[in-house]
Amino acid sequence: MAKGQVWIRLALVVPFWGSVPVLAQEGPFGSGLYQVLEKAACRSCHGPDGVASPTRLHFPEPDAAPERIEAFGRSLVTLTDRDSPDASLLLNKPTNRIAHAGGERIQPGSRDEAALKQWIKTLAQLSGVELAAALKYREEESRGSGHVVQRAELRRLTHSQFNHTVRDLLGDQTSPANQFPPEDFVNGFRNQTQSQNLSPLLIESYSAAAERLARNAFRGGDTHGLIPCKRPSPSCRSRFVREFGLKAFRRPLDPVEQKRYEALMTGEPDLLKGAQLAVEAMLQSTSFLFRLDESADPKWKPYAMASRLSYAIWDSTPDAELFASAARGDLNTPQGVEKAARRMLDHPRARESLNEFVSQWMRFDRILTAAKDRRKFPQFTRETAVAMTEEARLFVGDLVWNDRHFMDLFTANYGYANSDLAAIYGVAAPAKEFDRVAFPAGSERAGLLGQTLFLALTAKPEDSSPTARGLFVREQFLCQHVPEPPAGVNTNLTPVTEEKPQTNRDRMSEHATNPSCATCHRLIDPIGFGLERFDAIGVKRDKFQLQFSTGRRGEGGGRRAPVKTVDLEIDPAGYVAGIPDSQFTSPSQLGAVMAKSVQCQECIVKQYFRYTVGRMETPADRPLIRKVLDDFRDSRFRFKELIVSLMRARGFANSGEAVHVASDHKPR
C-alpha cells in the first residue's frame, strides 16, 4: 500500500438536536400563551435538564410539531385549579405570588398575565374527551411515549479507546492518540457523538499512527504472536486476515473484505511484510476507527452488543471470550448480557475504564491546567494538582469496587491524602502515600464536596468562586443546565477597595438585584455561598481575608511593599433552590442534602448514561433511566449494579415503552 494511503470512508454521525425553540405555532395556544412562556424563558428551567425538570411542567422538544405544542398547552390543566382559577399554580408560580425558584417571569397586571389568565379560563372549562386527552398526554410524556430513541450505529473511538484498543490488539504501549488533536468536552464528556467528526488533521494523525503501529508490531519478527501460522501459504494468509480482522473490526469480515486484505498480503512475498501492510490498512478503515454500537442485522447484532459492552466497561476492544459469547448467541438474551457484564467487571480493565469516566465527570483536566496565585497559595503545585485527582480517583474507586453505598460520595468523613493534601486538611501525613485519612472533627468536610479537587477546580487563581462552585454542583451532580449570561452583560464584579472591603457574598449582591443576572445566579450563587469557609485550594478559613498594598517599599527599596490585612466575617448560609429543606453551611451539610436528593441520585444514572451512550438523554429514554435508577436504589446504591442494569436495559429496551428486565441477582 502506498505510504499515507487512507482507507477512510465518510461516516454518518447522529446530528445534535437544536436548542432554539420554534416560536411561530398554529392553534390558540401556540400562537398565544406559548409565545409568552417562551419570551419568559420558562423552557430554560422546565426542560429535560433544567433546574425545574423534577416538576410537573415539562416543555416539549424545541422542534415539536404544532399539534404537539397544542397538546402540551392543554396538558397544563394539571396545574390549574378548575374550581378557583386565580389559585392555580400555573398563574401564581410564574408571577412569583407563590415562591418560585425562577423568580418573577410574568409581571402581574401585564398583557402577558392577561394571556395566561385567559388560557387558564379555557383549561378550567375542559371536560369529557378533551380533558381525558389532556391527561393522557401528560401520562404518555411521563412514560416517554411518542418519542423516538436516538441511535448512533457507528461511534468513533475516543483517544483513550484508541490507545487501549491498540494496546490490547497489538501489545503497543506507546499511547499514540495522546498526540492526536485534542477532543472537546460536550455534555460534560469527550466521547459524545455530536463532536466526533473527522477533521483533516485527525485523519492525517490516524494515517501516521497506523503506519507506525504496523511497523512496530512486526519489528524484530512476530514478537506479539499475531500470525497464527509460520509458513507463507495462501491458507496462512487467509487465516491471519480472518482472525486478525475479527479482532480489529470487532466482527467477522464479509467476503469482499476478506478477499481485499488477502490480495493485499499476497502482493508481498514476505509473510511479515504482507501482514504489516494488512494491519496498516485495517487500522485506517472506518470499521476499526468507528465501532458498531447498534445493528438491526441479526448477523451483526451480537457483535455490536459485544463492542458496546467492552467499550462501556473496559474502554477497549472485546476479548476472545466476549467474541466467543457473541458467536454462540449468548449476548442475545438479558441473562447472557448480565453474565458477560459481571465477568468483565471483575477484570482489571474495568477499573481503568472507571478511572476514565471519573476523570471526565470530575473534570480532572481543569485542575491539571489550573493556575493559583503563588504568593497566596505557595503550597499549590503541579504535584499538588495531580495528588488532588489521585485522591478523587481512589475515593470513587473504593466506593465502586468494594460495593459501598455510592451516595457516600457526598457524605463520607474521610479522604485519601499524601503529605501535600494532609497539610491542606490539617491532619498528620499518613504513613503511606494516599492512605485513607479521617477528616478532623469540626472540619465540616465530607465526600467529594469537602475534598481538595472540587474546592480547588471551582475556584479562581486568587480566591474561591461561589458562582463556579454552584454551577459545578448544578451541572455535574444535579444534571441541570444553567443558561449562559445574556449577551453584553458585564460579568465583572465591583473591585474591592481598602475604603470599602467586601466579602464575595457582598460583592455579588448585584446578582440578586440585577434582573438580567438574578434568574440564573439565584440558582447557583447560594450553593457557593455555603462553601465560602474554604479558600481557592480547599484550606478551611475562619475569616475572609483581604490584603491591600500600602504602596511603600521597605528599607533599601528592594523589598516588596508591606500589605495591610483586613479580616471580614463569613456568612456561610446556603441553600439549593428547587430542593426542599436544603439549607446548609458547610460541605458536609450540603453533602447530606445531595445524598438524599432524588435529583442527585438520578443524575448519577444520567451521567453514566451520557458517558456510555455518547449523548444526552431524551424524553424517549425516561423509562430506561427510571428502570436503572430503580435498580440502583434497590441495590442500596451499588454502582456496579447500576452498570449491569444499564447494560441489560440498553440492549433490550423498546423505544418509548417501560423497561422490564428480570434479573436473578438479589440486592445485597
- The helix-helix angle for 622-634 and 598-613 (nearest 10°) equals 120
For 306-329, the pLDDT digits (tens) are: 999 999 999 999 999 999 999 999
Of 68-82, 128-142, 324-338, 627-641, give the lowest mean pLDDT range: 128-142
**618 vs 217 pLDDT, higher one:** 217
pLDDT of residue 552: 60
| Overall average pLDDT of the 207-228 stretch | 95
CB atoms within 10 A of CB 662: 7
**482 vs 411 pLDDT, higher one:** 411
For 400-450, the pLDDT digits (tens) are: 999 999 999 999 999 999 999 999 999 999 999 999 999 999 999 999 999
What are the beta bridge partners of residue 112? Answer: none
Burial class (CB in 10 A: 0-12, 13-18, 19+), 303: buried
Residue 527 neighbours by CB under 8 Å, 6+ apart: 466, 469, 470, 473, 474, 574, 575, 576, 590
| Overall average pLDDT of the 637-656 stretch | 85
Q: Check whether 11 has a pLDDT greater than 60.
A: no
If pLDDT is split at 50, 70 and 90, which confidence band does 484 have? confident
**62 vs 237 pLDDT, higher one:** 237
- Alpha-carbon Rg of the chain, whole angstroms? 29
pLDDT of residue 563: 81
* Average pLDDT score over the chain: 89
3 state DSSP class of 546? strand
pLDDT of residue 549: 80
pLDDT of residue 495: 82
Residue 394 neighbours by CB under 8 Å, 6+ apart: 416, 434
The residues spanned by each domain of the chain are 33-143, 154-348, 363-488+495-596
pLDDT of residue 535: 97
pLDDT of residue 604: 98
For 361-373, the pLDDT digits (tens) are: 999 999 999 999 9
Q: What percent of the chain has pLDDT over 90?
A: 72
- Whether the pTM exceeds 0.75: the reply is yes
If pLDDT is split at 50, 70 and 90, which confidence band does 488 have? low
pLDDT of residue 3: 40
pLDDT of residue 559: 63
User: Are 157 and 292 contacting, i.e. CB atoms less than 8 angstroms apart?
Assistant: no
Q: Check whether 606 has a pLDDT greater than 80.
A: yes
pLDDT of residue 137: 86
CA 221 to each of CA 52, 214, 224, 239, 272: distance values in angstroms, whole numbers, following the listed order:
62, 12, 9, 18, 7
pLDDT of residue 10: 28
pLDDT of residue 9: 31
For 327-353, the pLDDT digits (tens) are: 999 999 999 999 999 999 999 999 999
Handedness of CA 188, 190, 193, 194 (dihedral sign): positive
User: Are 474 and 52 contacting, i.e. CB atoms less than 8 angstroms apart?
Assistant: no
For 122-173, the pLDDT digits (tens) are: 999 999 999 999 888 888 887 777 677 777 678 999 999 999 999 999 999 9
For β-strands 290-292 and 154-156, DSSP reports them as antiparallel
If pLDDT is split at 50, 70 and 90, which confidence band does 508 have? confident
pLDDT of residue 554: 54
**93 vs 666 pLDDT, higher one:** 93
H or E element, residue 344: helix 334-345
If pLDDT is split at 50, 70 and 90, which confidence band does 200 have? very high
For 248-288, the pLDDT digits (tens) are: 999 999 999 999 999 999 999 999 999 999 999 999 999 99
